Amino acid sequence: MTESLSNLLSENRTFPPTPEFAAAANAKPEIYDEAERDRLAFWEKQAGKLHWFKKWNTVLEWKAPFAKWFVGGKLNASYNALDRHVIEGRGDRVAFYFEGEPGDTKVLTYADMLREVKKAANALTSLGIKDGDRVAIYMPMIPEAVIAMLACARVGATHSVVFGGFSADSLLARIQDAEAKLVITADGGFRKGAAFPLKPIVDDALKGSHPVERVLVVKRTGQESAMGERDIWWHDLVEKQRAEHEAKPFDSEHSLFILYTSGTTAKPKGIHHTTGGYLTQAAFTHRMVFDIKPEKDIYWCTADVGWVTGHSYIVYGPMINGATQVIYEGTPDTPHKGRIFEMIEKYKVTILYTAPTLIRTWMKWGDEFPNKQNLKSLRLLGSVGEPINPEAWMWYREVIGGNRCPIVDTWWQTETGAIMISPLPGVTATKPGSAMLPLPGISAKVVDDSGNPVAKGSGGYLIIDKPWPSMLRGVWKEPARYQETYWSRFEGLYFAGDGAKLDGDGALWVLGRVDDVMNVSGHRISTTEVESALVSHDSVAEAAVVGAKDDLTGQAIVAFVILRGGVGAVQDGLEKALKEHVSKEIGPIARPKQIMVVNELPKTRSGKIMRRLLRDVAENRAVGDATTLADPNVMKLISEGLKSGKRED
């Protein structure tokens, strides 16, 4: 952290918006004052832009740390995303330009989406799904994923989308925790030039105990799929449904979705979001941060619906705002490294929202790929998921944005539901690598160890000190864990797990996690989760996992393992087997980049592993202060053992 602090301290470039951009922007400078004067009135005004069947009585009920927003109000998320546009004459506007990885395309207008969602909602009802039920969605990035989410919302069922890269065990754990009655999946999807299976993984997951009654399967790849009693094809059931369906009003605090995310323990947390406040902030931030002009813009967020970015900035925010979007199923280098740029030119994309890990990958591939394409349609660029280093920010600005597009570096989390800290294009003079300021209506600060705000120029913990509309309402079924995880480090403050620094101008620089959570390519993975997976392998006695700095993925997973007594010398292929084991247990995103076999792990007297020291080893640095170790010689033994032993990359 010290190293990045000093790098950032020398960053003094700023990029004010052009007068033309500022003049046409949705956000004007006065918006900060307006929110400051009366925060609740400000949010009430934003909520008023949604369609409500019944208006709320109370803006906010705050019994810390439990919030209720727009209490007494009634609305329907799917009505706001669809019916409203069609009723108001926007049915012919394109909602999605979909492109599959093999090159197949589909154009869906708002009227098309409404018809499909109504049919899917009727299909859910025919399967016995009612409001309050949970539905697990395990899909590739195809329009049916969005349709399935909106159909759940329409009938008041709570969706739990599980990213298609998770393993059968991870899927089962999420199905069990949410007690899902239905799984919506596909036979598979396309990735890296080949079909990958999903349905067989669902079948595998459902060998465990679970309350799932039916599995609804979209035919995407045409792979051979064994269909049992419980299974039903989407095309058989949904196609024959009536295209009429009335969206019922639900309470503002009705559960909209659960999304599982990694924390500092092995068990993922079901982050619980409700309807009115979440939709208010998702739509507001999408309008202001992305400056969306729905009649003109072509907006592309490259996230997958399996992550919160896909929920808030593909499904809910943009659709409520009536935006036209591009969605893409596959990987950015299939069939060639210019795929994304080719699509920007083809669809004349104006707003691109992506992750630093992809930006760094593009930098590595070389400028020739973006330079080959006409990217002049772009007018605004966004970044999310991890800190963006100033070099990558500048490259994004120059090579992708042609020095003309403002960049919004947006900080938020699954838990916050929507963007919290970001520049407002047209208002903010941006600095490469800084998320700048909390949005209007949001109160975030950097505090020291005792919870007091730090002075400009200092670093500390990033906290939020006032409730916000799209905040998580809790951890599914675990209220104590909610209090303990987010509200116990500092009295009365939400602590997000990130470290940050305030610069001399009061701009915020998010520095990354200060807890035992790794951020690999913008995905949160807990060290404990990977450690548990490693220890579940026959040959591992103990494991300690750290995130080591990585040029491409932000952090890479490095595991230190102690082998079991009987295993003897390190066998050929063991490292590979362990990597594959983790990949199978959690999913390919958690596959360690490097495994180091050691004889000891550095522990404090109370038995806590000192990951800081292991991180020094993993990042090839001199090992820091080891005086609190129970056995001060351990680090020396580890370093020596590694030098003589063998490593695998």
Q: Which residues bind ligand PRX (CB under 6 A)?
A: 261, 308-309, 384-387, 409-414, 435, 496-498, 510, 512-513, 519, 524
Residue 294 beta carbon to ligand PRX: minimum distance, rounded to whole angstroms: 23
Nearer to ligand PRX, 182 or 525 (CB): 525
Residue 162 beta carbon to ligand PRX: minimum distance, rounded to whole angstroms: 14
Residue 171 beta carbon to ligand PRX: minimum distance, rounded to whole angstroms: 18
Q: Is the dihedral of CA 348, 350, 353, 358 positive or negative?
A: positive
Decide: 562 and 600 in contact? Cβ < 8 Å.
Answer: yes
Nearest Cα residue to 387 out of 483, 495, 512, 284: 512
Nearer to ligand PRX, 524 or 579 (CB): 524
Decide: 641 and 598 in contact? Cβ < 8 Å.
Answer: yes
Residue 519 beta carbon to ligand PRX: minimum distance, rounded to whole angstroms: 5
Residue 336 beta carbon to ligand PRX: minimum distance, rounded to whole angstroms: 28
Residue 247, CA distances (Å) to 82, 128, 154, 315, 329 in order: 10, 17, 6, 17, 29
Residue 218 beta carbon to ligand PRX: minimum distance, rounded to whole angstroms: 25
Nearer to ligand PRX, 427 or 598 (CB): 427
3-state secondary structure 266-282: CCCEEEEEECHHHHHHH
The dihedrals phi and psi of 415, each to the nearest 5 degrees, come to -70, -35
Nearer to ligand PRX, 362 or 494 (CB): 494
Determine which helix (DSSP H) or strand (DSSP E) holds 112, and give its type and residue range.
helix 110-126
Rg of the chain, C-alpha, whole Å: 24
Residue 630 beta carbon to ligand PRX: minimum distance, rounded to whole angstroms: 31
What would the DSSP string read from start to end of 374-403?
Answer: --TT--EEEEESSPPPHHHHHHIIIIITTT
Nearer to ligand PRX, 300 or 369 (CB): 300
Residue 517 beta carbon to ligand PRX: minimum distance, rounded to whole angstroms: 8
Nearer to ligand PRX, 308 or 548 (CB): 308
Residue 290 beta carbon to ligand PRX: minimum distance, rounded to whole angstroms: 14
Nearer to ligand PRX, 171 or 308 (CB): 308
Residue 271 beta carbon to ligand PRX: minimum distance, rounded to whole angstroms: 8
Nearer to ligand PRX, 158 or 410 (CB): 410
Nearer to ligand PRX, 312 or 361 (CB): 312
Two structure tokens written together for 565: 């007594």
Residue nearest ligand PRX by beta-carbon distance: 414
Decide: 353 and 123 in contact? Cβ < 8 Å.
Answer: no
CA dist 354 and 345 (Å) reads 16
CA dist 614 and 594 (Å) reads 13
Cα angle vertex 467, ends 463, 472, to 5°?
85
Cα angle vertex 239, ends 238, 241, to 5°?
65
CA dist 97 and 87 (Å) reads 22
Decide: 274 and 252 in contact? Cβ < 8 Å.
Answer: yes
Class of residue 363 by CB neighbours under 10 A (exposed 0-12, middle 13-18, buried 19+): middle
Decide: 271 and 475 in contact? Cβ < 8 Å.
Answer: yes
What would the DSSP string read from start to end of 445-490?
Answer: EEE-TTSPBPPTT-EEEEEE-S--TT---EETT-HHHHHHHHHTTT
Nearer to ligand PRX, 308 or 427 (CB): 308
Residue 410 beta carbon to ligand PRX: minimum distance, rounded to whole angstroms: 5
Nearer to ligand PRX, 310 or 467 (CB): 310
Residue 648 beta carbon to ligand PRX: minimum distance, rounded to whole angstroms: 29
Nearer to ligand PRX, 250 or 290 (CB): 290
What would the DSSP string read from start to end of 124-164?
Answer: HHHTT--TT-EEEEE--SSHHHHHHHHHHHHHTPEEEE--T
